[in-house]
Structure 1
Amino acid sequence: MAFPPLYILRHGETEWNRAERLQGHLDSPLTERGRAQAREQREILSELLLPAGHVTVMSSPSPRALRTAEIALPDHPITQDARLLEIDLGDWAGRVLSEIRADHPEIAAATDPHMWKFTAPRGERLAQMAARCQSLLASLHGPTVLVTHGITSRVLRCLALGLPPEDLSSMPGGQGVVHVVEHGTARLLGAASDAD
C-alpha cells in the first residue's frame, strides 16, 4: 500500500527520559533540552517548506508530544489522535528501568533493545500497536507530520516501508530529528541526540 509523504517526529527529551523512568501512557514535562530539540525540528521542517494548509499535522494526545508539536509547528493546526500514543507499558509505566531489569533478569539479557517492552504485565502487545498504527496510516490523505513517541515512531516507519513491525529495532531513533518516509524510502534529517 502506498502512503503519502510522512514527516515523523519523536517528542523532545522529558524529565523521565533523563531519569530512565518509563513513561508509556504516563507523562512528564519536556526538559530545556527537549524544548531545544523541538526548536531544532522546527528548523528542519521550515527548510522542507511545508506551509500551513498544505500539510496535515497530527499529534499524540500526550502532553509531551503536544508541546513538541506546538514548538515545532507553531503556525499549523494540530489534530490529536490516540493512535499515536506511545506503547501502553501496563504495570511498568512510571518505573525506573534499573528496577524493572532487577525484577526481570531476562530483560537485562535481552538482545533486542525494544521488543521486551511488549511483554509488560497488563501492557500492550506488538500486534495491538501494529493494528492501531496501520489504521492511522490507512486514514491519511496527503503529506502529514506525525508527532509521536519512540516505539510508535519505529512501528509506523516499519509499516510505511512495508516491513514487519518486528523489525522496529532496525529503525533509527532520536530526538530533535525528523524521519521522512516517502516513495518507499526513509531518511533521517538532523543529528540524532538520543539513540532511543
Structure 2
Amino acid sequence: MKIKTFQNIAFASLFFSGIFANAQTNKYVLDFKDTGVKIEPTMYGIFFEDINFAADGGLYAEMVKNRSFEFQTPLMGWEQPSSDRHSLNEKSGYALPIETGDEKNKNICRIEVKDDKGYSLINEGFRGMGIKANDLYNLSIMAENREGNISKIKFQFIDEKEMRLAKLQSIHLQKNGKNIPRNSKPLKPKRKPNSKSLLKARESSMST
C-alpha cells in the first residue's frame, strides 16, 4: 500500500508542476556588446561521434563492411550461405581469415573453393549498401589464385531475395604472382532494390 501511495503522489507532483511551468512567461535578453570571455579567432573545433554508422556507412564512402577482414571478429559483415564450419563443404567452400604479420595488410582471407557453382561470399554492408539505380559504383579488389583452376571471381549487387540488381562483373585472377594486382570494375545498378542491397562474390573455374 505504501508503494502505491508513493507512485500516485509522484505522478500528481509531476502533473501539477507541468501545469505551473506552462503558465509561466519567460523573457530572454541577448546583449551582443558584452560577449564575456574573448575567444581567439584562430580557435575552432568540431565534435563528431561515430555512432549509428555516422562514419562507416555514412561520411566514409566505403560500402563494404570489414573490407580487409581486420575487425575483432574477422568475418563480421561477411556471409557464406552455402557453407558450414562443421562440415567438409564438398559442395561449396569455406573462407578463413589469416594474419599475415604485414603492417600494410595485416589480414588476408583464404578461400578454399571445392565447388565453384555452390560457393558464394556475401557482404552485408552497413545494414545494406543503399545503392541507387543508374549510379556508378567502383569495385576494387586484390586477389590471386594460389592453387587449383579458379580463374575469375564474379561480382554482383543483389537484394535480400538474391535478385540481381546490376550486370554481372568478372575479375580474372593471376596465379601465384609475386605482386598481387589491384583490379577494378564498375557496377551500375539498373533498378533500386525493394529491400536492402548486398554485394555477392562467386568464384568460377569457367574460362571466358
Taking structure 1 as the reference length, the TM-score comes to 0.29
Higher relative contact order, chain-length normalized (CA < 8 Å, sep 6+) = 1
Taking structure 2 as the reference length, the TM-score comes to 0.28
Higher share in strand: 2
